[in-house]
Amino acid sequence: MRSFNLWILDGADSIGGNKIALTNEGEGLFLDFGVNMRKKRAYEVSYRVLAIANKMFYHLYSEILPRIRGIYRS
């Protein structure tokens, strides 16, 4: 019988932004269900004045996207 690893990476305690990884023997499936609204709202309210040019940097910096090594292009 095969054993799978299920990783809940973000969004387990909020609406939206669920990120789930399912892995088995070096292969895997990453499911991304959008933006974590709680983190986005907290970041936007606190730092509305800042203008961040790079969208990817904005999402990584605010932890809207999880920091998973090797999943994003350089």
What would the mean pLDDT of 24-45 be, rounded to a whole number?
Answer: 83
pTM: 0.52
Domains of the chain: which residue ranges? 5-61
What would the mean pLDDT of 20-39 be, rounded to a whole number?
Answer: 88
Spatial neighbors of 2 by CB under 8 A, at least 6 apart, are 24, 25
Let me know: does 7 contact 21? Beta carbons within 8 Å: yes
7: β partners: 21
Residue type, 28: G
Residue 53 pLDDT class (50, 70, 90 cuts): very low
Let me know: does 60 contact 52? Beta carbons within 8 Å: no
At 50, give phi and psi (nearest 5°). Answer: -70, 135
